[in-house]
Structure 1
């Protein structure tokens, strides 16, 4: 009985195996050329792939071409003019050893900051036209110098406006502390340079050489949090805070000038407007574009290639416009001073750029013009009382 049951079970198992083999043999062979690369629906018809859904790399050859032609040319003009104007300021102050007011100290440091800033532009021009050929150490050095000079220049402009506020609006108080003013201004200048260096720590830590399209370039490698910090400090310290302080100081200065009785008050008000207007025209566009670009980068809102390229070009143009400010600072802040202009003329005479007769003729003409106007202005060592 047991043997018969075992034979029955064995027969059933053999029949089951045969049936399974017959079913498997009816399955068509796997076609690797279709299942790996083509998509089929339930009717086995070929479905086309929509490649627009895939992320494609944005080709920016036209942006690079624009940068290679525009940036080196504008950088060259800014560098030449900036070195000429700021160099004259530094040479004049050092040659005549005339650091007798807070404004003198601030103007000298501002000229040094602008010269340091201009020193970095040729390196960026080479980085755009060719690639970075100066090594990793120089990459960090140029980045740090660029940021330190940028922040210090903005903060010194703010300090100049504060000094002029006290010199004009709080003249009595400023006169009492005149003996210590130069000492205080030197302390403030040192603090400005140190604070600017601290704000440049991201450039020191995250800048370096980066290979892009078979080229080696000097870039910043930042995550979102560091991008927000660097952009926030540049907007706050490099634009918003100096602008608010300058606007307050110069508005009060204008109010004081309008109440004063002096023949030069209208000229001084025009200079104040020029200072504020130049600051806005040359700094506001770049900071606005940079703010929009930072928001787009953090939120990843720009997905169109053309929009990204337009943003790149806008940054290049507005940044170059902001750099022009370095050329204008000597004319807006130093060359308007009566005694500074006289010292500059003396320096040009001693350098052989002007004869003694021309110097005497020019100074005599200015003195005659001033006496005819009946000036009651009290000259300081750097500018007139009402010159901002």
Structure 2
């Protein structure tokens, strides 16, 4: 049996524990729901305080809904746009290389544009499913993705800018264009454009990383100077040049009203490039507006990266990324539907492949009829 003194001592201990638990429950109510150390109360001694499961708070529900919407948009992109961009850009390269003897200067520029688009389309499958932005917490992956995105953006806009200038030279300076618009000069221009695109991404990257060596959670894409450079050099200045070129081209076409056949032919040549430029502007405008709002927003420096503008608006950041990736998927459609030269090459390419396939089947049938099958047993 237990002695009365010991029994009384147990009762006092139990009452003391209950009083302490009630005191903790009354004074740490907010910590149970929002404190980071609230689960410490839910141990074996005070388990009756945590019998009810916590309901999902409104911010958690909102984040869950945004995650579902982002996942749905990523699936739509992967099912509909990614195959078009991946197969279409490869087809542009294969068809034009197969008919390299018929390659024109605009075809050469579109081939290089297809290479840039193919790189981004292949890289986009990693980015479009980065819904919780966990990849941005790894410095190497974040930097790798940012570099690929920037090189593709710079190369695309630089090629489109140069193509607009090339169209202006071809239309406005008909006599002098034959001197400057040669295939050798076009190849040299493509090499310089790629060099400029890679330099525009790598030079700031090197300078910034030398200043942030050793930082664990540093990401190249979060530097404001890099983002300002991306907006000005990769969007504002090129489109100012493109707008000037096409305004001058319109003036030339208006003055060419006496030569109707010449005007129609020039208009057909310009139509595809104009559509490509417009699609690029529409797809990349949300990304640049999103970055501009982030840069212009007055925020106090905080130690946590989770307080950045992109982390505060993950769904919007995901949507503008998908819009930017969509540009590389839509260019093959524009090229195939509006490019008359490419349609002719594609038709010849399909006909040649069909003839080769038919010839291959005919040769196999002939060989089978002449040479007996080795599996058949000869009669003696």
Fold conserved between structures, TM > 0.5: yes
Matched residue SS, 1:351: helix
Structure 1 residues 276-291: aligned runs within 5 Å: 276-291=277-292
Richer in strand (by share): 1
Give how far 1:72 is off.
4.1
TM-score (norm 1): 0.62
Alignment match, 2:219: 221
Distance in 1 of aligned mates of 2:176 and 2:276: 25
Alignment match, 2:173: 170
Query: 1:161–1:250: 8 Å Cα contact kept in structure 2?
Result: yes
Distance in 2 of aligned mates of 1:192 and 1:140: 22
Give how far 1:275 is off.
4.1
Alignment match, 1:14: none
Q: 1:338-367 CA distances to partner (integer Å, 9 max, x unpaired)?
A: 3322111101222339999xxxxxxxxxxx
Q: Which of residues 117, 132, 144 is equivalent to 1:114?
A: 117
- The alignment status of 1:239 with 2:235, answered yes or no, reads yes
Query: 1:113–1:153: 8 Å Cα contact kept in structure 2?
Result: yes
- The alignment status of 1:67 with 2:65, answered yes or no, reads no
Distance in 2 of aligned mates of 1:347 and 1:183: 26
Q: 1:69 to 1:282 in 2, by over 3 A?
A: same
Unaligned residue ranges in structure 2 (runs of 5+) = 1-19, 36-58, 359-380
Distance in 2 of aligned mates of 1:198 and 1:166: 27
Q: 1:191-224 CA distances to partner (integer Å, 9 max, x unpaired)?
A: 222222223236677699x99xxxxxxx86259x
Alignment match, 1:187: 188
Q: Which of residues 317, 320, 331 is equivalent to 1:318?
A: 320
Query: 1:87–1:115: 8 Å Cα contact kept in structure 2?
Result: yes
Q: How many residue pairs are counted as aligned between the two chains? A: 295
Q: 1:157-212 CA distances to partner (integer Å, 9 max, x unpaired)?
A: 1111111111111111111334xx2222222222222222223236677699x99x
Q: 1:351 to 1:114 in 2, by over 3 A?
A: same
- The alignment status of 1:346 with 2:348, answered yes or no, reads yes
User: Greater RCO between the two (CA within 8 Å, min separation 6)?
Assistant: 2
Q: 1:145 to 1:110 in 2, by over 3 A?
A: same
Alignment match, 1:377: none
| C-alpha RMSD of the superposition | 4.5
Distance in 2 of aligned mates of 1:183 and 1:103: 13
Distance in 2 of aligned mates of 1:78 and 1:220: 32
Q: Which of residues 256, 259, 262 is equivalent to 2:260?
A: 262
Query: 2:128–2:318: 8 Å Cα contact kept in structure 1?
Result: no
> Which of the pair has more CA radius of gyration?
1
Q: 1:330 to 1:167 in 2, by over 3 A?
A: farther
Q: 1:312 to 1:327 in 2, by over 3 A?
A: same
Higher alpha-carbon deviation: 278-287 or 111-120: 278-287
Query: 1:290–1:315: 8 Å Cα contact kept in structure 2?
Result: no
Richer in helix (by share): 2
Q: 1:49-75 CA distances to partner (integer Å, 9 max, x unpaired)?
A: 9xxxx9xxx764443343333234324
Matched residue SS, 2:354: coil
Matched residue SS, 2:297: helix
Query: 1:103–1:160: 8 Å Cα contact kept in structure 2?
Result: yes
Give how far 1:250 is off.
1.3
Alignment match, 1:90: 93
Q: 1:341 to 1:158 in 2, by over 3 A?
A: same
Q: 1:108 to 1:277 in 2, by over 3 A?
A: closer
Q: 1:72-106 CA distances to partner (integer Å, 9 max, x unpaired)?
A: 43244322111222222111111111475432221
Query: 2:151–2:198: 8 Å Cα contact kept in structure 1?
Result: yes
Structure 1 residues 19-58: aligned runs within 5 Å: none
Give how far 1:107 is off.
1.0
Distance in 2 of aligned mates of 1:341 and 1:354: 20
Give how far 1:110 is off.
0.3
Give how far 1:251 is off.
1.5
Alignment match, 2:47: none
Q: 1:332 to 1:171 in 2, by over 3 A?
A: farther
Structure 1 residues 140-179: aligned runs within 5 Å: 140-178=143-181
